[in-house]
Amino acid sequence: MRKNPRLLVVWWSNTGGTTQLVEAAVQMTQKLGSDPNYCEVIEGRCDRISAAALLAADGYLFATPECLGGIAGPMKSFFDRCYYPLLGKLNGHPYASMICAGSDGEGAIRQIDRIATGWRLKPVAPALKVITGAQTPLAIGTPKRIDPSDLARAEELAGTLAAGLALGLW
């Protein structure tokens, strides 16, 4: 592992909820990152993340809305694109996930966990699930505003993942 481990945040959002969780997570880790020994944090929308970027990172935070009982389509495409090229190459790397869902979120969590199991990634914290309550067509299409308490949970999860990487805990 390089001196400063690298945490890669891979995400998708349709109506901004997941984006806010990612922003909170990245801001927190960048605050902690003023320590030169701390880990480097990189984020990218999933359609812009290559298999090479995954390979160059030491740990992962996957963030997505739940759509139709699973991860959002672009997030699925990202995993489809990267899964086989990286099979057997990420073994043991730590990960966590953040799911923004209207009412459920469990299907998306399970789907990421199954993919991560195939990659032999190591789960280091329970998935963060944020329920926005959007269940009608109007509410589903409306830009989301995430509660500060949920943003704090995103900060905490990212801080835990990044600190563990920096300390070599995982």
The contact mask relative to ligand FMN for 103-142 (x = CB under 6 A, - = no) is xxx--------------------------x-x-----x--
Q: Which of residues 30-89 bind ligand FMN (CB under 6 A)?
A: 65-69
CB of 52 to ligand FMN, least distance (A): 26
Q: How many residues bind ligand FMN (CB under 6 A)?
A: 21
Binding mask 83-102 for ligand FMN (x = CB under 6 A): -----------------xxx
Which of 10/165 has CB closer to ligand FMN? 10
SS (H, E, C) the chain: CCCCCEEEEEECCCCCHHHHHHHHHHHHHHHHCCCCCCCEEEEEEHHHCCHHHHHCCCEEEEEEEEECCEECHHHHHHHHHHHHHHCCCCCCCEEEEEEEECCCCHHHHHHHHHHHHHCCCEECCCCEEEECCCCCHHHHHCCCCCCHHHHHHHHHHHHHHHHHHHHCCC
Closest CB 46 distance from ligand FMN, rounded Å: 12
Q: Is 144 in the site for ligand FMN (CB under 6 A)?
A: yes
Q: Which is nearer to ligand FMN, 55 or 104 (CB)?
A: 104
Q: Roughly what angle, to the nearest 10 degrees, separates helices 148-167 and 17-32?
A: 40
Residues that bind ligand FMN (CB under 6 A): 13-18, 65-69, 100-105, 132, 134, 140, 144
